[in-house]
Amino acid sequence: MEIVRTFELPNTKLLAVKYEGYEFDALEILQGQWGSTEFLREFFTKYKKDHYAKYGSSKLNNLVQQAKELADDFFELLLELAEDVESSALVDFFKPLDNRELQSETYDLQKLKGREEERKSYLRIYAIRYKEKIIVTGGAIKLTDKMEDRPHTNDELKKLELVKSFLDTNDLDVTFSYIDVK
């Protein structure tokens, strides 16, 4: 496992996990998936009932187009936040994964989620707070209330726990914005 800089930005507070055996880091994988018409068509076909239950009926082509537009906006916002190393906007963007935790309660190894608030987006990026950095572990299209309800969101919970456990047992210095963990 490697923890790498995102968007090739120096001194950013945003890092991402690159899992062993993968060519791309977690954020790059999400960009690829959420920008892929084929991936989105397969996903919304498989989880059509979940989308309908939460958001109502919509044509598949519209869902795919909407998801791609949401993803573009999301990654553009994330890039802007990551470029701004002087403010706390990036750190503030990520909220506690557990809705019962207050936004003001921050601590090391806290599980986090990022999403666009404006449009009630179903796109989620998951991360761990670690030494004033945000480490992206993955993301998902979340159409159910509980992550445990679907395999793809449950997998994201497992990734969060895996990275949290690793960081908890290994004291890493993340000041260089690159960690090689094997």
Judged against a pLDDT cut of 60, whether residue 25 lies above it is answered with: yes
Query: Are 181 and 15 in contact, with CB atoms under 8 Å apart?
Result: no
User: Which residues form the domain of 110?
Assistant: 2-180
User: What's the structural domain count of the chain?
Assistant: 1
What's the confidence (pLDDT) of residue 182? 31
Strand 14-18's sheet: what is its strand order?
Answer: 95-96, 111-114, 123-130, 133-141, 14-18, 2-5, 179-180
What's the confidence (pLDDT) of residue 40? 97
Average pLDDT over residues 177-182: 33
What's the confidence (pLDDT) of residue 176? 36
Alpha helices, H only, the chain: 26-34, 37-46, 48-55, 60-83, 89-93, 151-169
In 3D space, the residue among 58, 79, 37 whose CA is nearest the CA of residue 143 turns out to be 58
> pTM here?
0.88
Contacts of 158 (CB under 8 A, 6+ apart): none
